[in-house]
Structure 1
Amino acid sequence: MLFDKMDPEMVKAMIEALPAELTVINAEDEVVGWNKHETRLFKRPLSAMGMNFRQCHPERSLAMVEKLVSEMRAGTREKATFWIDLETIKNEPKHKIFIEFYALRNARGGYMGCMEFTQDVTAVRALEGQRRLVD
């Protein structure tokens, strides 16, 4: 992997700079990390670190997330993509939130865990025309 030689501080800065929220669980279904703690769409307490994801995931979508993680663990799914409308500011129009789950695998293909990737794509969906780097 080309990131192997990067300073860990640089990797942390890179992950924090991504225009998306990441949450990672390990092979034992424990929450092991996330970025953008202060500005997340889906906020969680620091006490969620080390918890089984089932204890801190919303009830309304838990069964589907359990199914996705089970399929990833079994090797029958690598990715899941969906989107929702979410009120991010009270009494403002809802934002379009794009969510993907990715299986995390080691070099031998063994299941290491799962990463949730969440991004507010409202502004991206509104883009029209072009804006070049030099503009």
Structure 2
Amino acid sequence: MIENLSWSVLKSILNTLPLEITFIDEDDSVRYFSGSGRGIFPRDPSLIGMKVQDCHPASSRPAVNRLLDSFKNDRASFAESWMNKDGKKIYVRYAAVRSDDGRYLGCVETVQDITDIQKLQGEKRLD
């Protein structure tokens, strides 16, 4: 059904979601990120085509490599982490992207500020 959407509409949908999305291809290269580059983890357009390992501090690269290796070798399909940044609680999800026949295509990362979500209580329904 995605073929029913123009690139402009799809891009607008992705940029409207209350999270940041980054796609890393099967060769570990950054191929896409949503938004304008501002956000929780600011991204510059020059990152497109770079190896994801080069976008992280040296101390984080072993963890990045372990995660991607686990996705590539089908030992995992999902991982998550959370951290405090600038007084906010940040939730990061990583998911292996696979073709219909199971071939590894890359990894999608979503980053979301969940500070206000953690404060929710009770229920709120639309009237």
> TM tier, shorter chain?
over 0.9
Q: Which residue of 1 aligns with 2:18?
A: 19
Q: Give ranges in structure 1 of 5+ residues lacking alignment.
A: 88-93
What is the Cα deviation at residue 59 of structure 1? Answer: 3.1
TM superposition score normalised by structure 1: 0.88
Higher helix share: 2
Instruction: Give unmatched runs, 5+ long, in structure 2.
Output: none
Bigger mean CA deviation after superposition, 35-44 or 20-29: 35-44
Q: Distance in 2 between matches of 1:108 and 1:45?
A: 33
Q: Could you tell me how far 1:36 is from its partner in structure 2? A: 1.6
Query: What is the TM-score with the length of structure 2 in the denominator?
Result: 0.93
Q: Partner of 2:56 in structure 1?
A: 57
The corresponding residue for 2:124 is 131
What is the CA-CA distance between 1:130 and the residue it aligns to?
1.7
Q: 1 CA distance for matches of 2:9 and 2:113?
A: 24
Residues 1:106 and 2:105 are matched in the alignment: no
Distance 1:129 1:37 in 2: 34
Identical counterparts, % of pairs = 29
Paired residue for 1:122, among 115, 118, 122?
115
| Structure 2 residue identity aligned to 1:125 | Q
Q: Does the aligned pair in 1 maintain the 2:30–2:49 contact within 8 Å?
A: yes
Report the count of equivalent residues.
127
